[in-house]
Structure 1
Amino acid sequence: MNLENPSRENMVYMLNELQKKLTMANTSVMNPDAFELNVYEDMYDLFEMVMRKERFSINEMEAIVSELGSLRKK
């Protein structure tokens, strides 16, 4: 799977992987229908950063969730 190519399938994959990695209780923030393809590049950058790290502080988790929230449809 080439995640550098924007597609709905890739967006769903990244959101599922982020959800697993972050072990989030509130999964509604990760609903693929809440994201447009025009934020794909930002989502991909966030995905790459999260996948590189092993652990996250509470502040980092809050920042990640905040960033995801800013990428959602308005």
Structure 2
Amino acid sequence: MDLTKPSQENVEYMIEAIKNKLKMASAAAMQASAFSVDHYEDIYDVYEVAMGSDRLSISQVEALVSELGRLRHK
């Protein structure tokens, strides 16, 4: 998958990967379709942080989840 090209498909792929990595208990509330390609760069940044670490601290997970919440459609 080429994540260098902004697309809704890539957004959804990254959100699903982030949810799996963070093992989010509230993953159902964080549907990939709730994110827009308009925020692609920000979502990609969150994706890289989440995927770039073998282990994330509780505070890192909370920060990433908070950022995803900010990027969701209201």
Q: TM-score, normalised by structure 2?
A: 0.90
Letter in 1 for 2:23: T
Instruction: Give the corresponding residue for 1:35.
Output: 35
Q: Deviations over 1:1-51 (max 9, x none)?
A: 110111111111111111111111101343122111110110001101110
Looking at structure 1, the residues matched to 63 and 29 of structure 2 have their Cα atoms a distance apart, in angstroms, of: 13
How far is the alpha carbon of 1:69 from its aligned partner? 0.3
| Identical aligned residues as a percent | 47
Matched length: 74
Instruction: Give the corresponding residue for 2:71.
Output: 71
> Where do 4+ consecutive residues of structure 1 move more than 4 Å?
none
Instruction: Give the corresponding residue for 2:16.
Output: 16
Instruction: Give the corresponding residue for 2:57.
Output: 57
Q: TM-score, normalised by structure 1?
A: 0.90
Unaligned runs of 5+ in 1: none
Instruction: Give the corresponding residue for 1:6.
Output: 6
Unaligned runs of 5+ in 2: none
